[in-house]
Amino acid sequence: MRIKGAVCLIAEDADRGQLAYLLAVPLEGPKKSLFVWQLAATTRGGKEQATLSLLAELRDFGRRKHVRSIALFNAAAIRCVSTD
Query: Digits of tens for pLDDT over the chain (84 positions)?
Result: 678 888 999 999 888 889 999 999 998 877 888 999 888 888 877 788 999 999 999 999 999 999 998 888 765 555 555 544
Q: Is it true that domain 7-74 has CATH number 3.10.150.10?
A: no
pLDDT given at position 30? 78
pLDDT given at position 80? 53
* Beta strand residue intervals within 1-84, DSSP E: 7-13, 17-27, 33-41, 69-71
Domain ranges of the chain: 7-74
pLDDT given at position 77? 55
Helix, strand, or coil here: 3? Answer: coil
pLDDT given at position 78? 53
Are 73 and 36 in contact by the 8 Å Cβ rule? The answer is: yes
